[in-house]
Structure 1
Amino acid sequence: MTDRLWDKDVQEFIEACKHEKLADIEVGYSGIGSAFLSVSARYRTRRGRLIPIGYRWVESGKWGTHAEVYLGTVPAPAGHDAKDFFRLAWKTRLWWERNHVAYALLAVTTLYFKAHAVRDRMQLEHLENLKKDQEFSAALLKGGIDDGLDVDQRREAISQARDAALRTLNDLAHLYGAHSEPGGE
């Protein structure tokens, strides 16, 4: 991991974790078995109250799977327009903090995209290391589901890469992000 600390993507993720209004940053997956990353944190108001904030993927009958940001219990489409973030601040009764809310939502969105870049790169590195294993490499080249090779073994290797990347992201967020005090809310 120490070699990766100098990667540009990792440095950008670390910088995004240092946002002064965000605490307890956690990277996970939206839904069970989902490949979509999500970011959750806590927004610290001017009065010191902590409110859940994040970027996630949700399923709806009308729109299908789509990204949304949320603050407290109020969700909004994951747009990149400040006026959408101001509306979210209004709905959560934080109008006087609308600029801080907008920057925190932008920071959460940035965290999502930076986490995505780091995760993809780490998974690619892990799978390239697996490619050196000749049996695994032959399984990838043959490709078909019914090629007589252990499909579960391939899925397990990919799952290990996914879990290792997620653990690293959460470790970095824990090391470089702020934390709420015990009993903070």
Structure 2
Amino acid sequence: MENRLTDRLWDRDVQAFIAACRQERLSDITVSQKEADNGQSLLAVSATYRSGKGRIQPVGYRWVTSRSGLAGEVYVGKAKAPAGLELDGLFWLALRAGLWGERRHLAFALLALADLRSKADGVRGRLQLEYLGTLGGKASMAQAQELTLQTLNDLAYLYGTRTTPAA
């Protein structure tokens, strides 16, 4: 099993996920999962954004319940906006978060989060199938999902940056 999963590191989709983890302003990337009412599991991504002046803000891409069902949302601290905004909308979000001077860097970091979530979603399906096939009848779908989520978070930890406490 380890050889097949180690070989998976060289998969094109996994390499794209790893590259997305290396965004210069994002650190402490965490991938989580939310179950929708229809049984579908959706991925969310959270991270820490470090401004040029050293301010640290939590940022993320999450799923929230709206009138029309689940909708993607990006957030910076307490400021939030629907996912899929153009740059102007992300600039507005930077203003609400008190990071107007960082609006361009913050906008690209939020776009990188959405890209990271998308790439994680692409890798997730293949890893789950591989875990189910490898573990055979011993594994349930929940176990395969848990192992897959752990693998994604391990990759994000290994290839992303981490916030170090100020000395």
TM-score for both structures, normalised by structure 1: 0.80
**Pairing of 1:48-67 with structure 2 (within 5 A):** 48-60=54-66, 62-67=67-72
1:30-66 residue CA offsets vs partner (Å, 9 max, x unmatched): 3698711100000001111110001010113x23211
Whole-angstrom CA distance in 1 between matches of 2:34 and 2:78: 16
Q: Distance in 2 between matches of 1:121 and 1:183?
A: 39
Which protein is richer in strand relative to its size?
A: 2
Larger Rg: 1
Aligned position for 1:15: 19
> What secondary structure, in the 3-state scheme, does the structure 1 residue paired with 2:52 have?
coil
1: CA distance between counterparts of 2:34 and 2:81?
16
Structure 1 residue 80: Cα displacement = 4.5
Who is 1:44 aligned against? 50
Structure 2: which amino acid aligns with 1:81?
E
Correspondent of 1:162 among 128, 141, 145: 145
The aligned residue for residue 30 of structure 1 is 34
Asked if structure 2 preserves the Cα contact closer than 8 Å seen for 1:74 and 1:88, the reply is yes
Question: What is the deviation of 1:183?
Answer: 5.2
User: What is the RMSD computed on CA atoms of the aligned residues?
Assistant: 2.1
Task: Look up the SS of the partner of 1:29 in the other structure.
Answer: strand
Distance 2:61 2:68 in 1: 17
Q: Deviations over 1:109-161 (max 9, x none)?
A: 0110011011111112223446xx5xx5xxxxxxxxxxxxxxxx8xx610111
Deviations 1:52-98 (CA, angstroms, capped at 9, x unpaired): 001010113x2321110111111110014111211111111211111
Q: Does 1:68 align with 2:51?
A: no
Per the normalisation by structure 2, the TM-score is 0.88
Report percent identity of matched pairs: 50
SS in structure 1 opposite 2:124? helix
**Stretches of structure 1 lacking an aligned partner (at least 5 in a row):** 137-152
* CA distance in structure 2 between the aligned counterparts of 1:2 and 1:16, rounded to whole angstroms: 19
Q: Which runs of 5+ in 2 are unaligned?
A: none
Deviates more, 1:160-169 or 1:73-82: 73-82
> How many residues get paired?
161
